Structure 1
């Protein structure tokens, strides 16, 4: 017989990417496929045609030093639990035969190498080599990350942009974010994240074997997004200046962060806060094929002593004091990943909480989860991982104490505020979806209901604090204080009102607005005080900062105090983005976007306008000073490089205010 050898192997990249829903990873040098589904390669033979009676082909598939050797058969029957390679006997081209390689639905995620050998009468011919990246497969029923509906897979695996929610339940702020999973180098960086992890460095064989389980992968990624214990992606910072890095508020997507991390030789990128940690983790999980979404918990408790109580202290003037290690973040952002929990009793499959923000150690490492959302709702706090911690984040009570020195002058508690509203981006729409009921046995609430706080005292005084509407930059913040005397005696009351700026995760800063007065209430009388904070008084706290507003009533007879407080954000104006000829956007054709902005502030503003969009453009422009009420219109040209739905983001970083104005536009680029 003449010699038979393999001259070349074609990975049929275009066909395989389409069948495996990985076509947007086309910039990757290696083939990208999903486990539990066959992919086709074609061989170019030389010497003579393939003869099934005298010739055979074997394939060696390798992950690190782990490997499986398998013969190429003529049986199309595949197994969901074993590797299989076969030729389709129908229409077989004996000089250019096609081989289908099928991985188990529980294969480990990673970068694989393979070798092809041809044997003629027992003699081995020349080898050829290839590579492919293997990801989880939410389209495969046997895969533990299978999610049943196509719109969920589109949103939670394929979508490369989204919204992160911040602010307060009454005044939701939608921050656009580009997950960037298809940007050049991001896939490789996400796979390298697994290689850089301490688990891989300690025991490569065990790490490769464990990478078949999403529970394991998600804990590794949760720890690797922060840099507390390892060469993780992001360094967290919540106070001080960010001059030696990037202010967390300035990031617009995951791509720049992951690229900087890889190019620096895996040195932590400065800086991240909770929404940045969560958004980057969402990118990594979607790249690896594990369905993932970003979730915001409003009024998120950090219970340091595990007693499910958050203690807050106020002065008799209504100023919040920094006396407790416990804290409530106005919002906290984590992710949920979808997976079956074969390590737990039935009923715990589905969404699992994972939190890469370093707060507490889990198993000696700064990571959190996966904690089944169903376990949190049903208080199954004996389950791994970190269910009690997440349960406290959404369920702790608040105890508020008014102090004069060490003396307690008043006390009240709030059992409703923590975990008041939990949301994520709606499937297919640029709006939020209320998922509070997934975590808690509560009635569904609207985040836009009237913002109010109530408190009472043992002496029969009631006080209510109500914002008249959601505060908007450029308008006065109007609110009412309603005071009710429930007794049969005349009451003389001092009224102290106090507003402090605060960061979302910290105690308030100094008072920026206050007023004091006195009122008299007849028996059983109710009075309403109307108050307002003018724009010139609050403009320094517009943007990412919030306001802690408190009222303290002091009974001038008994000296007893009663407190009501509320925290709110003042919504920034939006940048408006318009596209010329929006229905005719195609790849590689120049388009024009127009960004407009009107200054609502009481003084001139100027800043730097940044416009970004994955596979669209990246650029910065200096914005000229704008007088109060003045407007600007800026044209931007961009050239899409691929089809699909894309997000165009614009952000205006004001140079004379601690504020960033944002806007976004979803663009449909018609596929060629």
Structure 2
């Protein structure tokens, strides 16, 4: 009678320690631990037999690993390991094949070491054990292992395409589960805390569901290029059943405001439970979820924030703004009826690390992917992976979406004015080569600044040569040469030098409720009188650059004597703007001026953010592990209005799952305060993240370090 398998044991916790997956909650489940294994690495399996001992001369035993609905050895979705006690070691050049060798035999148990190739698809695999006599005419007995086996990428293995040579960085880019996302316009950008939570028990099942909805073939799910491109497509729900619904208009009553999220886990949990897209997200929320997914799958990933980010809608590698003869900004792009260029105060995407065998040598390493829907690529809202080296060199012909990313970080800002005497109907009145992509930021590895931004890393030179250098111009012009629509804009001659200088002064930080001033300095360099017409205005905007509400506007005309200086100032009072702010409290000031005698026209703009208070998290210097501990969240309402529909969100890996705490209405100037009980699961330093949202005030955040010492085990 053929061997009967009584049980298969995969040593989930022991294997996980060697595979650096022991922090996954699925592995640590006390009742039914699930194996999470990295491809390209050996793991131990034990087979226990029911009816008699294993006899190598008589018994044939095969372990068959299956992936997807139609497992196929040629497609890489089926792996077969033949038990052969004579084969005791495995050769490095066999990394493309499944392999197994016997470690130990006892009367009823066979312990084996199995190797899965570093290119197999990631996700849930099944296992069958086939037993028979070596005579093939005998009947085969099949044992089905009834637990899931998760295989994920292995950036520690040099044969895996996601291998990162500087292994110490994997502690940050794969294993760190709390980080920062830089948000806010230039000048007031700050690192916002985000709980990635890639080890939570809902994350890997949610990822599997996402891929099942994506249409990506099972055989393609081992290729990190296709995996990350699909992730960029599926984290937004624009044209598929993806994870997050994007919304930017401030109306979130039928969902969760983007600024209320503390991290990715509650989003992925809701997606898994409802099997529907979760409302609502914005670019930085999309990027936080992408980081969680990539790190959970073993793909090195970091969040990238581009301060002053271009959206080039017509592939000209320029961002174009048009003005009427009366110096009024036109509300549409006359040269692009399908859409218009825009500038986001900031935009957030991701870098992922991998080799690029589809590109020439030298274009592997960090690759940009963007899960925020802006333009379609191959018919879907997806972007990347685009090699950072290709972006930097202007290689628009390389896969994927390199041209769009070049424009995002290095487009020229061009302003045009109606000119009936010009054959094009417009004259270029201004070109700024240095406005777009002012800073590109990510979190510095191995640092976490709880009260500031000392942990930010400027990676602008990863994306483009230093602004103003010859190399920077050459890389952009290299992209222009290969883009037909861009050639027409860059071939236009520059305007002649004009004799009046204008300078719109940048604003310092403005606390909410303070007055501020718009100031333009003007210098007449000519030896003649000049007559100036000028318009100054201010309005609230969404961070995507979309106008919200006008606040104030002032027009004026004046004369300047030769070689003279003038200063224009428009004071904006708090009472004028408080009721017109939208989420994130960003305002845009605009200035445009024309010199009557020369028809010289100048225009400039500046975005800045009104600063709101942070949540003060108060807790003892040290708290006990395994015991209930109390902490307090508080801040002062900065508005002259009542806050309604108030909620705190609090979360921290190892401290508490995302908790939503309602709060009663808050009067103007009153203290907002709640108490929270936490029961730590682990000793050591932990991180806690909190947000506050209301109908009238959003985007109040806070973070704290929690030192957990010994208590109950």
> How high is the TM-score relative to the length of structure 1?
0.88
Q: 1:72 to 1:667 in 2, by over 3 A?
A: farther
Q: Are 1:441 and 2:459 an aligned pair?
A: no
Q: C-alpha distance in 2, partners of 1:627/1:300?
A: 36
The correspondence for 2:153, drawn from 136, 144, 168, is 136
Task: Tell me which residue corresponds to 2:115.
Answer: 102
Q: Are 1:308 and 2:317 an aligned pair?
A: yes
The correspondence for 2:592, drawn from 552, 573, 577, is 552
The correspondence for 1:387, drawn from 388, 399, 402, is 402
8 Å CA contact 1:542–1:572 kept in 2: the answer is no
Superposition deviation, residue 464 in structure 1 = 0.6
Superposition deviation, residue 488 in structure 1 = 0.8
Q: Are 1:344 and 2:359 an aligned pair?
A: yes
Q: C-alpha distance in 2, partners of 1:404/1:476?
A: 38
SS at match of 1:366: coil
8 Å CA contact 2:363–2:389 kept in 1: the answer is yes
Q: 1:314 to 1:639 in 2, by over 3 A?
A: farther
The answer to which of 42-51 and 140-149 deviates more is 42-51
Q: C-alpha distance in 2, partners of 1:404/1:238?
A: 35
Q: 1:116 to 1:3 in 2, by over 3 A?
A: closer
Q: Are 1:613 and 2:652 an aligned pair?
A: yes
Task: Tell me which residue corresponds to 2:544.
Answer: 505
Q: 1:548 to 1:320 in 2, by over 3 A?
A: farther
The correspondence for 1:416, drawn from 434, 452, 457, is 434
SS at match of 2:409: helix
Superposition deviation, residue 402 in structure 1 = 4.9
The answer to which of 277-286 and 376-385 deviates more is 277-286
Q: 1:635 to 1:268 in 2, by over 3 A?
A: closer
The answer to which of 645-654 and 142-151 deviates more is 645-654
Q: C-alpha distance in 2, partners of 1:552/1:117?
A: 78
Q: Are 1:45 and 2:49 an aligned pair?
A: yes
SS at match of 1:347: coil
The answer to which of 639-648 and 179-188 deviates more is 639-648
Superposition deviation, residue 635 in structure 1 = 2.7
Q: Which runs of 5+ in 2 are unaligned?
A: 28-32, 72-77, 334-339, 449-454, 470-493
Q: C-alpha distance in 1, partners of 2:271/2:378?
A: 26
The answer to which of 527-536 and 153-162 deviates more is 527-536
Task: Tell me which residue corresponds to 1:7.
Answer: 6
Q: Are 1:69 and 2:80 an aligned pair?
A: yes
8 Å CA contact 1:437–1:443 kept in 2: the answer is no
Task: Tell me which residue corresponds to 2:690.
Answer: 650
Q: Are 1:272 and 2:297 an aligned pair?
A: no
Q: C-alpha distance in 1, partners of 2:687/2:418?
A: 50
8 Å CA contact 1:25–1:182 kept in 2: the answer is yes
Q: Deviations over 1:253-277 (max 9, x none)?
A: 222222222322x332233322222
Q: Deviations over 1:335-360 (max 9, x none)?
A: 11100011111001101111122222
Root-mean-square deviation (Å): 3.1
Alignment of 1:531-542 (within 5 A): 532-539=571-578, 540-541=580-581
8 Å CA contact 2:525–2:564 kept in 1: the answer is yes
Q: Deviations over 1:84-123 (max 9, x none)?
A: 111225xx54433321111011122121111223445646
The answer to which of 492-501 and 384-393 deviates more is 492-501
Task: Tell me which residue corresponds to 2:499.
Answer: 460
The answer to which of 555-564 and 155-164 deviates more is 555-564
Q: C-alpha distance in 1, partners of 2:591/2:106?
A: 83
Q: C-alpha distance in 2, partners of 1:163/1:609?
A: 19
SS at match of 1:467: coil
Task: Tell me which residue corresponds to 1:451.
Answer: none
The correspondence for 1:564, drawn from 604, 614, 618, is 604
Q: C-alpha distance in 2, partners of 1:227/1:516?
A: 44
Q: C-alpha distance in 1, partners of 2:142/2:25?
A: 26
Alignment of 1:116-515 (within 5 A): 116-119=129-132, 122=135, 126-130=141-145, 131-199=148-216, 207-239=217-249, 241-264=251-274, 266-314=275-323, 320-324=329-333, 325-402=340-417, 411-430=429-448, 431-442=455-466, 460-478=499-517, 480-515=519-554
Superposition deviation, residue 566 in structure 1 = 1.4
8 Å CA contact 1:119–1:125 kept in 2: the answer is yes
The answer to which of 163-172 and 62-71 deviates more is 62-71
Superposition deviation, residue 594 in structure 1 = 2.2
Task: Tell me which residue corresponds to 1:36.
Answer: 40
Task: Tell me which residue corresponds to 2:616.
Answer: 576
Q: Deviations over 1:66-99 (max 9, x none)?
A: 223221234132532111111225xx54433321
SS at match of 2:408: helix
SS at match of 1:180: coil
Q: C-alpha distance in 2, partners of 1:560/1:600?
A: 44
Q: Deviations over 1:108-145 (max 9, x none)?
A: 21211112234456466754332411100111121111
Q: Are 1:662 and 2:701 an aligned pair?
A: yes
Q: C-alpha distance in 2, partners of 1:552/1:163?
A: 37
The correspondence for 1:82, drawn from 80, 86, 97, is 97
8 Å CA contact 2:649–2:661 kept in 1: the answer is yes
8 Å CA contact 1:473–1:542 kept in 2: the answer is no
Q: 1:129 to 1:642 in 2, by over 3 A?
A: farther
Q: Deviations over 1:361-412 (max 9, x none)?
A: 2222221111101000011111111111111111211112356999969821
8 Å CA contact 1:649–1:663 kept in 2: the answer is yes
Q: 1:176 to 1:316 in 2, by over 3 A?
A: farther
Superposition deviation, residue 420 in structure 1 = 1.6
Task: Tell me which residue corresponds to 2:487.
Answer: none
Q: Which runs of 5+ in 1 are unaligned?
A: 200-206, 446-454
8 Å CA contact 1:317–1:496 kept in 2: the answer is no
Q: C-alpha distance in 1, partners of 2:262/2:109?
A: 47
8 Å CA contact 1:115–1:129 kept in 2: the answer is yes
Q: 1:464 to 1:255 in 2, by over 3 A?
A: same
8 Å CA contact 1:317–1:497 kept in 2: the answer is no
